[in-house]
Chains A and B, each alone.
Chain A
């Protein structure tokens, strides 16, 4: 896919978007010496607050992290921080977005980030929080919101994976999915999973440095894509085992699937946001 940016969907808005950096609040952000950088810091700190707290809450639903407390207690202690994080992300995002509107309007990574933000809010507020509050029990509304938020998340992930120049960023999501499984798995499954992952990394390195020359891009591309698919199969396969292996955690496979999505959606948002600069 070549590009799925906002200009593609709303071409008539270009003249208006081009003015946003020169009028408040965009001009307020760009004006002072440290203005833009300061709001970016606010954006990153908000991301840390929402990311850190949703990871902890969802890890609890996966049977890792603060396991000595019930999921409802973890949720009760983190919900205010999550609200602060989301408000911070939206407010600072609007401000730096207004100052940088022309670039974002033309950026596929920004479209992915907006989809991840929408999905992240739905999956956190409509799914993970109610499920954690109910100690892992999944009611009808979380199921409905999971269908909606999950579909938006997967569509954003698909766009990230298939859009030229940003598709490499999907390695962040794959890496996060791989790393989440280390604290979530136990015993022999954990070591087997790590050994398999290490073998894949070594095999890819040998293949792309010694079997194929590192500057032979025509052959490297399909080989790297094949390894990406192998990583995904290994990670998803191990993830599926953890869904159905009950070790006394609250909730069943659907609860855990929701928790995985609840973490990865914020990683997708952060990765797409960073990739705006690289596109």
Chain B
């Protein structure tokens, strides 16, 4: 295991099992307390899904306007000025609830391919927003009232729809254990999930097992 990987694992282990734990041996870390809470974790997860309804729903309307599918008679700026504040407002709640969920099980998420893919698509979706605001929107004055905006705007909107859909798909697949460290699975998945460094170790499709030395060294 290289030094970076060892540092990441040590940090995740500290975050999940040590951070916030008092001197009592029976004490819980903040992460364990959140996951084991009577109702708070469930409320957090429910909030993440419900706020997604407003967040993704409003993004979809703006993207469909840019694609020339809906609100064709309305200026693009009218739709984006009216709808995007709601998107930003809901995104704040999506991020807060999502961070809370990640904090409750950081080791599990780090070794889950769907979560890693979700983060990748999320980063690409955010990059797409930056590109749209930096480049495509610079010329918006000339096409703001067009029923069908120019190709660059439509490409950006299509990319946005696809990327946010992929974020939702990967997010929904996280709880399913189709790919899980310790189970026999393709080498690529084992590599992406860094199973060799996980508590459950790695097993490839030929049945060969590799157990992490790090977890064996844990007290």
| Residues of A participating in the B interface, judged by any CB pair closer than 8 Å | 33-34, 37, 40-41, 44-45, 47-49, 51-53, 55-56, 59, 65-69, 73, 77-78, 80-81, 168-169, 171-172, 175-176, 179, 182-183, 266-267, 270-271, 274-275, 278
Contact = CB atoms under 8 A, between A and B. Distances in A.
Interface in B51-90: 52-54, 56-58, 60-61, 64, 70-71, 73-74, 78-79, 82-83, 85-86, 89
Contacts of B165: 45
Interface string B26-55: 000000000000010011011101101110
B88 to A, nearest CB: 11
B173 interface: yes
Contacts of B83: 56, 65-66
Contact of B173 (A37, A53, A271, A274): A37
Given A65-B83, A68-B74, A183-B86, A52 B50 contact: no
Nearest to B176: A37
Interface centre among B45, B46, B86, B178 (most CB of A within 10 A): B46
A77 B71 contact: yes
Contacts of A55: 53-54, 57-58, 86
Interface of B: 39, 42-43, 45-47, 49-50, 52-54, 56-58, 60-61, 64, 70-71, 73-74, 78-79, 82-83, 85-86, 89, 93, 165, 168-169, 172-173, 176, 178
A274 B39 contact: no
Contacts, number: 114
B46 A78 contact: no
A44 B51 CA distance: 12
Given A68-B74, A172-B47, A270 B82 contact: no
Nearest to B41: A278
27 contacts: A34-B173, A41-B168, A44-B168, A45-B165, A45-B168, A47-B53, A48-B52, A48-B57, A49-B60, A52-B54, A52-B61, A56-B83, A66-B71, A66-B78, A66-B83, A80-B70, A81-B64, A168-B43, A169-B42, A169-B43, A172-B50, A175-B47, A179-B93, A183-B86, A267-B50, A271-B46, A275-B46
A78 B68 CA distance: 13
Nearest to A166: B42
Contacts of B70: 77-78, 80-81
A41 B39 contact: no
Given A78-B70, A172-B47, A271-B46, A41 B78 contact: no
Contact of B54 (A51, A80, A274): A51
A68 B172 contact: no
Contacts of A175: 47
Given A37-B176, A44-B49, A271-B50, A69 B86 contact: no
A266 B47 CA distance: 14
Contact of B82 (A37, A66, A274): A66
A48 B53 contact: yes
B173 A65 contact: no
Contacts of A56: 57-58, 61, 83, 86
Nearest to B164: A48
Contacts of A45: 165, 168
A183 B60 contact: no
A52 B45 CA distance: 19
Given A33-B178, A40-B172, A56-B83, A270 B74 contact: no
